[in-house]
Each structure stands twice: as structure tokens, then as C-alpha cells.
Amino acid sequence: MKVKISGGVLICSAIFCVSVATGLPVRQDARPEGYEWHLPKGFPEPLVPADNPMTAYKVDLGRHLFYDKRMSSNGMQSCASCHKQELAFTDGLTVSAGSTGKLHPRNAMSLVNVAYNSVLTWSNPNVTKLEDQALIPMFGTNPVELGLRKGDRFLPTLRADGTYRALFAAAFPGTTDPFTIDNVTKSIACFERSIISARSPYDRYHFDRDDSAVSDSAEKGEELFFSERGACFHCHGGFNFCDATVTKRSGPRSAEFHNNGLYNVSGPYSYPSPNLGIFEYTKMMSDVGKFKAPTLRNIAVTGPYMHDGSIATLGEVVDHYAAGGRTISSGRLAGEGSKNPNKDRRIGGFPTTPQDRANLVAFLISLTDQEVLKDPRFGNPWPVK
């Protein structure tokens, strides 16, 4: 039989319905469903909270919510506004803007392989679960991002949508009223955890043994990256090129934060407000300017770089680290970053030639997975208007 719903058709049997809108079966019983990660070579299973196990139904619901502009107070923005798939789920801006137009203080971070992150923002060491992080853009006021308010029409709007009635029922079977903020954030978190990327030329070269996947220049850049001369791997190591990585096998672990010599301004703090790093939370002067080292996967499409988007190109990023810190010669941000008292001791600079610079950039470009940028599993499920 067919049951007409708003936004699609449910083709039903005694056990399940198949949504024409989503392509997924919507179970009519309450049995939980497992989740197949289909992880690439070299990738361990991510760490998932016990109270929010992965299911295909929650992932699908989360994908719909992620791209739904009804997630914002102005009806014009969604999670995807600041996390665009074609940019490895960043937005290409120096800093993002919220639903009120106010600029954020920091750059939008990539969500690719976010399932492996032990900490989820540039500088808040307390946000370690995607379920908690989702609440910040939804309801945060400093800055305002999506601009939702508790008690507004958001949940009733979802409940009135037939597509969501089917998706919530499938994702949270046996629940009297699945339309809760807790279930919204759980679903978004499941979708975000599903965005796994490991199909870059680097991966094909190392895991698929495709010798033609990377250039000679990228190979030489990799050698420098993993050498003690370059020492890049100390903060960007492992399969995810990040030192804040957790897996199911590793269990929870604390993240490191680094002052990389980006600034050394005069005044009470060596970094310009409001971006003072984890000092905002620890209030320890030794933590001024310490930020998370993000993954370098897909780095070629996630610029501009650094927490405040203040470095435009990968070549300039290499120059910054080769110099052991950035020097700004004039203006309110003037100062020698290499002399910042909190700078990580591993960022000491290293001698480079123009060819070294080109090789490192070629290597970084080889970390970009073109497939994840267009994979329909992670794309917008809503009809284009």
C-alpha cells in the first residue's frame, strides 16, 4: 500500500516503509539497527558515545537537519551554511557570519573526520562530544550563529513536516515523542561522524599502492614533513594528521593546544582579543594563544588558514612555520611571533629553499580527497528550489 505524506510517499509493508524522499526503509517495529562504517584501510573505528550509537536512520535524519534552513532564526541559514561540502565542510571565509550578520571571531573548522577529534573547537577544551557541540551554533549568543531560542517554533515546525515525522520515528523507534532537542543533536552528531575521508592521492599511494597517485615533488615534501628538520608531524601526525585524535581503541584522551607564534602583540596579552586561545577557560597566562592543531586532510580546500583565517595560502603557511613564527612589522598587530613567550618549543623554524616550499605545498595538496567533496551520502538531501 502507499501512504501519502508531506514531502514524499511512504511505500509500506507489514515490517517497514520505504521513503521515496529519503530512499531508506522506515521500520515499523522497534528493533534497533546497527551501523556499517565501511572504513578505509588504515582507519580504526571511531569512538562513539554509549548513549548515542550510530544507526543509518539517525545519520539520515541528521543529514536532513544539517541542511535544513529552518534550523536558523532567520530561515536562511543551516549548519551547511558554514560547513559546505565542496570546501570539506568549511566556508572559505576568513571568519563566518551568523544569522544576525555579526561576524564570528574564528574560522569555520572542517567537519571531515570529525568523529576522530578529541576536542571539537579551536579553543574550548571542554567541548569533546558532537552532541554538546551542536548546541553551541543552535543556541549560542556569543556569537549568535543559527540564533535559535528554546521554546520557539523550531520543534513544532519539524513535527508538522511529514518527512520529519517518518525520519524521527525511524531514528528513535518506540519513543512517544521523538521530537526533542536531545534527539536533534544526537542525529546531527551521527551524520557528522559519518563523514569519513580517506580517498586522497596520499591514501591511494600508501594504502592502495598506486605509485602514480602523487608527484615526485609531493613525495619529497612528505619526507620533509616527517623529518625532524621540518618537524610538522609532531602536531599533525597519525592517520588523521592531527594530534587530537581518538578512536574506539584509544578511548577518550585529552587534546593538546599550541601557541604557534602567529602573534606577539604588545599589551597585557600576546594575542589580539577576543582570540586568546584556551586562556579564555583556564585563565592561565601560559595558555594565551594556544589553539587546537586541526587535521591537515583536505587542507587545500579549507583556506584561509589559522584560527582567525589570517593566512591566505598554503605557501604562506609554510613560510610561517619555516620562520618559526610570523612577523608583523606595523599596525596594531605588530610583533615578532617567533619571540612569543608561550610559543610551542617544537616550532623553531627550519631552513628551506624555494623547492622545499613547493614540495611541502605539493604534499599538502596530496592530502585532499576529491571524492568526499561530492559524495552524495554527505550532500543536501532536500530538493533544490
Q: What average pLDDT does this structure show over 136-151?
A: 93
The model's pTM:
0.91
The domain tally of the chain equals 2
- Nine-digit cell string for 165: 515525522
Residues 187 and 210 in one domain: no
Look at residue 19 and tell me if it is in a domain: no
Look at residue 372 and tell me if it is in a domain: no
User: Confidence class of residue 34 from pLDDT cuts 50, 70 and 90?
Assistant: confident
For residue 34, the tally of other CB atoms under 10 A from its CB is 8
Query: What is the pLDDT at residue 95?
Result: 96
Closest residue by Cα to residue 91 from 281, 303, 259, 265: 303
Given a cut of 90, whether residue 21 has pLDDT beyond it is no
Look at residue 374 and tell me if it is in a domain: no
Look at residue 133 and tell me if it is in a domain: yes
Strand partners, 336: 327
State the amino acid at position 321 in one-letter form: Y
| Residue that terminates a domain, selected from 146, 171, 197 | 197
| Residue that terminates a domain, selected from 182, 197, 212 | 197
Residues 156 and 241 in one domain: no
Look at residue 90 and tell me if it is in a domain: yes
- What 3-state DSSP class applies to 55? coil
Residues 187 and 288 in one domain: no
Look at residue 91 and tell me if it is in a domain: yes
Residues 82 and 225 in one domain: no
Q: What burial class does residue 56 get, using C-beta atoms within 10 Å of its C-beta: 0-12 exposed, 13-18 middle, 19+ buried?
A: middle
Tens-digit pLDDT profile for residues 37-93: 989 888 999 999 999 999 999 999 999 999 999 999 999 999 999 999 999 999 999
Closest residue by Cα to residue 28 from 246, 174, 165: 174
Look at residue 16 and tell me if it is in a domain: no
Of 27-31, 158-162, 243-247, the poorest mean pLDDT is in 27-31
- Containing structural domain, residue 349: 201-365
Q: Beta strand pairing status for 8-12 and 257-258?
A: unpaired
260-282 burial: b if 16+ Cβ within 10 Å, else e: bbbbbbeeebbbbeebbbbbeee
E-strand ranges in 237-276 read 257-258
Residues 180 and 68 in one domain: yes
Q: Domain with 270 in it: what CATH number?
A: 1.10.760.10
**In the block, which residue shows the cell 594563544?**
289
Look at residue 10 and tell me if it is in a domain: no
Residues 169 and 209 in one domain: no
Say if residues 187 and 38 touch (Cβ distance below 8 Å). no
Residues 189 and 141 in one domain: yes
Tens-digit pLDDT profile for residues 89-128: 999 999 999 999 989 999 999 999 999 999 999 999 999 9
For residue 236, the tally of other CB atoms under 10 A from its CB is 21
Strand partners, 12: 17
Residues 207 and 300 in one domain: yes
